[in-house]
Amino acid sequence: MRVLIVDDSSVMRKIVARGLRQAGFKIDDILEAGDGVEALQMVTAHNFDLILSDWNMPNMDGLTFVKELRKSDDTPVVMVTTEGGEGKVAEAIQNGANGHIKKPFTPEDLKATLGQFFRG
């Protein structure tokens, strides 16, 4: 499994990576991007099994990233964000996101939401 974590906060990227490990997921590689622009470049260069993206980022926000990604790629994307209102979650799903995790989260939250995307 190769996972891409997209968040403008390097600290939050580390927290998400640690949470994935604490949840017990078997991940071979975790790569990071600081915004949607960088994430799109990484998707062009690497194959990912799952992308976890923040919503609010400079240069290209998470929703725009998902919209752009869906033009050429069907890698599952789960939004990991403080944007948790029903309208925002629905907007993300309608635009191609495969799920949503609200910050702050626990390893158990990650396990419950992301388990379907991990094989074995």
CA distances, 86 to each of 50, 60, 69, 89, 100 (Å): 23, 22, 23, 5, 11
Domain assignment present for residue 76? The answer is yes
Q: How large a percentage of the chain has pLDDT more than 90?
A: 88
Q: Per the confidence metrics, is the pTM higher than 0.85?
A: yes
Count of structural domains within the chain:
1
Domain holding 27: CATH number?
A: 3.40.50.2300
* Contact predicate 84/100, CB 8 Å: yes
pLDDT, tens digit (0-9, with 9 covering 90-100), for 33-92: 999 999 999 999 999 999 999 999 999 999 999 999 999 999 999 999 887 778 888 999
Domain assignment present for residue 36? The answer is yes
The secondary structure element, H or E, covering residue 28 is none
| Residue range(s) defining the domain that contains residue 36 | 2-112
Query: What is the C-alpha separation between 49 and 38, in angstroms, rounded?
Result: 17
Domain assignment present for residue 117? The answer is no
Nearest by Cα to 77 from 97, 93, 47: 97
